[in-house]
Amino acid sequence: MSVPTPREAVTSTTTFKDDIFRGKVLFCTGGSSGICKGMTQSIMKHGADAFILGRKQDKGEAAAKELTEATGRKCVFASVDVRKPETLKAAAKKCIEVYGKIDFVICGAAGNFLAPISGLSENAFRTVIEIDTLGTYNTIKATLPYIRESRGSYIHVSATLHYRGTPYQAHVSAAKAGVDALSNVVAVEEGPRGVRSNVIAPGPIQGTEGMDRLTPQAMKDVITKQVPLQRQGTIDDIANMSVFLFSDAANWVNGQIIAVDGAHLHTSVQPLPYPESVLDPASAVKAIKPRL
């Protein structure tokens, strides 16, 4: 039986009007690279200005310049450590000084690596929790006064790892489960004030660190075959969902966790050989070490 040719991903500009976000301001942690950078670019293409945050000054400034040139909108970068509330509060105030408002927030700062619980130090576990979960909380706290004023919206970038037991991913699974829970509470507590909060949980996305650095080459083809739509996702696929969720078309979508994964969750098996990878971690390390 022949497999149909996978449908190519499309960008948001083929579906949504160019100016749906004109006059809006996006505040995005993790916006200088990867999925969050792609989300930011799409939202800017529809008229928004952006304030992106990351840790590396040179990389962030280069990303802001690139986003400005690609979209014709204004993008400003600020260096922050999302684990430190004071840096986020200062960044939010700076965003207000530059733009006068914040309408949309993407909580996307994240950290990840592969390690079984038996080889995962307490400090390493804590670090991922601090970046992903505490970083999301700190971002919410820093921006909430402004989002209340604008009756704005949050998108939290999560993952699908914790919807099942995923070996070598205890730290990020726990962290992203916390992100999901935070979003749900924000949706309930802040909904009466007109604030929406939703989660995007990406599946296997090509061109990201998770696929390029943390996934053995031999497993990439296996993962692709497990996706019912027969392709890995693209950053544009995630960006398209972010445009929808921030748009007025989604003004009654609140407190949702949306997996954008081509239905991979329904057919996937463990990403590393099971149970060999948990009974003999050394064998798994040989497969993934070149990419660590």
Phi/psi of residue 57, nearest 5 degrees:
-60, -50
**Beta carbons within 8 Å of 79's beta carbon, 6+ residues apart:** 53, 54, 55, 56, 57, 60
123 exposure class (CB count in 10 Å sphere: 0-12, 13-18, 19+):
exposed
C-alpha count within 13 angstroms, C-beta hemisphere, residue 29: 33
- Which residues are catalytically annotated? 158, 176
Q: Are 262 and 229 in contact (CB under 8 A)?
A: yes
Nearest alpha-carbon partner for 86 in 46, 45, 34, 139: 139
Residue 198's SS3 state is strand
pLDDT at residue 225 in the model: 87
Q: Which of 235, 213, 211 is nearest to 222 (CA)?
A: 211
C-alpha–C-alpha distance, residues 94 and 146, integer Å: 12
Do β-strands 75-79 and 104-107 pair in parallel, antiparallel, or remain unpaired?
Answer: unpaired
> Model confidence over 250-261: pLDDT tens digits?
999 999 999 999
Mean pLDDT of 171-176: 97
Is pLDDT at 12 greater than 90 in this prediction? no
| Total count of residues recorded for the chain | 292
Side-chain half-sphere of 127: how many Cα atoms within 13 Å?
8
Q: What is the pTM of this model?
A: 0.90
CA dihedral 216, 221, 225, 231 (to 10 degrees): 100
Encode 158-188: b = buried (16+ Cβ within 10 Å), e = exposed: bbbbbbeebbbbbbbbbbbbbbbebbbebbe
For the segment 214-251, what is each residue's pLDDT rounded down to a tens digit? Answer: 666 667 778 888 899 999 999 999 999 999 999 999 99
Q: Is the pLDDT of residue 211 over 70?
A: no
Judged against a pLDDT cut of 70, whether residue 288 lies above it is answered with: no
> What is the mean pLDDT of the segment spanning 148-177?
96
Q: What is the pLDDT of residues 15-57, one digit of tens each?
A: 888 999 999 999 999 999 999 999 999 999 999 999 999 999 9
Examine the pLDDT at 192 and tell me if it is beyond 70: yes
Q: Is the pLDDT of residue 291 over 80?
A: no
pLDDT greater than 90 at residue 59: yes
Is the pLDDT assigned to residue 10 strictly greater than 80?
Answer: no
Tell me what the pLDDT averaged over the chain comes to: 91
Secondary element (H or E) of residue 62: helix 57-71
- Closest Cα to residue 109, out of 143, 81, 77, 78? 81
Neighbour tally for 28: CB within 10 Å: 27
